[in-house]
Amino acid sequence: MVVKGYEDNLGAPLRAVREDVEREWSGRVAAEEAKRKEAEEWATELTRALEKEKKVSARSNPHSKKTLFAEGSLS
């Protein structure tokens, strides 16, 4: 059972341990957040490049599915 204000009742050694753990893990968490942000940026860039490639491909390929559907060949 968690009691409201339990941190106020912690002794100095327990508080020190908590601070040490927070210090140790804050760097690790920051590094993981940076990796995740970099991966998200890469995925966004990759998605943009794919969409651009699709547009170019659709323009250069007159027999794309969209064109064939419009002509009635693939109903």
As a whole number of angstroms, the distance between CA 55 and CA 39 comes to 24
Q: What is the pLDDT of residue 75?
A: 47
Enter the tokens of residue 18.
Answer: 């908590």
Per-domain residue ranges of the chain: 11-71
| Segments of the chain with pLDDT less than 70 | 1-11, 62-75
Residue that is written with structure tokens 């059972």 in the block: 1
Which helix or strand (DSSP H or E) is residue 42 part of? helix 12-60
Q: What is the pLDDT of residue 7?
A: 65
The torsion angle over the Cα atoms of residues 26, 31, 34 and 38, rounded to 10 degrees, is -160
Residue 64 to residues 40, 55, 61, 71, Cα–Cα distance (Å): 31, 11, 6, 11
